[in-house]
Each structure stands twice: as C-alpha cells, then as structure tokens.
C-alpha cells in the first residue's frame, strides 16, 4: 500500500491581458503563494511528506508543486504530467499512469486542478467518477492506495482545506 496526497493548486490569477486571456497561463497570486507556504509546517507535522510529486504542467499547479517540493525538502525532482492539465480527462492518468507511480513510490503527491482531482479521489474511493467530492484551492486529500491487478483503489484517510492546514501550522 502507498500513501497518496492529492493537492489542488493555490489561488491563481484570473485570465486577463497579462495571461493573454489564457486559462493555461495563469500563475499563483501573491496570496496563493503565501497560503501554500503557510501550509508547509502543518504538512510536515502531519507527515504529509511525499517521496515523489507529480504535477500538472500548468504554471499555477507547477508553482504549487515547487513550493511544496522546496518546503518539504523532497529529493526526487518534480515530474510533470500533461494528463493532469486542467483541460484533460482524469481517465488516462487513472487508467494508464497512476498504478506505475503508486508501485514505484511509497508516498506520492499529485498536484493539479478541479474537477480532475476530485474525480481521481472519487475513482479511487468508490470506483465511480461522480462521487460528490469538491476540493477548494490548496486542499489536500490523503488516501491509502494499492494496485490490485491493474486496478488502483484507495481508502480515504482525510481531507484538509488550505485554511485548516494553515490553522494547524499556526497552533
């Protein structure tokens, strides 16, 4: 069994002239950066420290992954997966890539976007894509996961909002 941490990117800028009106180009806001940084002490204290981070290549997710990577002092480089992009279906990542990541890492973190991440958690927990899970910006879902044959399955250990993790950090 592996531990899986599913994390949504932090607060990002709105599409604007600065991003060429592109969703893909959106970066974290200063507040988004500060909030992700403020979560790091709680992530350490709760032992939410992965061996490997796999992230969407979109800037807001990749920046979130970089802040976590540096803050938690992860040795392995961040791996970018186009399949985790905000405009993608979760099914290729779930059916083709996730098992390999889980089998090669005891503690994996996936960083990306909604609704892909809640769909991933839903598939792992229930086998269905439409369980009513919704992740706020900066939220982390913690699962224990295994690969059984070619199927990935998970048990929910907890779901934390960014605000909850920041409060734990400040306690």
Beta strands in 34-91 (DSSP E): 52-55, 79-80
Average of per-residue pLDDT across 120-126: 94
Q: Domain segments of the chain: what residues? A: 2-170
Quote the CA–CA distance of 114 and 93 in Å, as a whole number. 14
pLDDT band at 171, cuts 50/70/90?
A: low
Reading the block at residue 47, the tokens are 């032992």
CATH superfamily ID and name for 2-170: Phosphoglycerate mutase-like (3.40.50.1240)
Cα distances (Å, whole numbers) of residue 96 to 9, 81, 100, 132 = 23, 12, 8, 24
In this model, does residue 51 exceed pLDDT 90? yes
Q: Full-prediction pTM beyond 0.85?
A: yes
pLDDT band at 19, cuts 50/70/90?
A: low
């Amino acid at each position: 069994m592996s531990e899986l941490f599913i994390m949504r990117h932090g607060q990002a800028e709105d599409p604007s002239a600065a991003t060429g009106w592109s969703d893909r180009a959106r970066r974290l806001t200063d507040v988004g950066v500060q909030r992700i940084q403020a979560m790091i002490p709680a992530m350490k204290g709760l032992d939410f420290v992965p061996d490997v981070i796999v992230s969407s290549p979109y800037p807001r997710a990749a920046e979130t992954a970089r802040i976590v990577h540096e803050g938690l002092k992860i040795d392995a480089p961040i791996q970018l997966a186009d399949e985790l992009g905000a405009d993608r279906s979760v099914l290729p990542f779930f059916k083709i890539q996730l098992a390999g990541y889980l089998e090669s890492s005891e503690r994996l973190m996936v960083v990306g976007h909604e609704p892909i991440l809640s769909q991933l958690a839903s598939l792992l927990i229930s086998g269905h894509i439409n369980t009513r899970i919704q992740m706020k910006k900066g939220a982390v879902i913690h699962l224990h996961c295994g690969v059984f044959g070619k199927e990935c399955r998970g048990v929910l250990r907890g779901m934390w909002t960014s605000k909850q993790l920041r409060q734990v950090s400040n306690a």
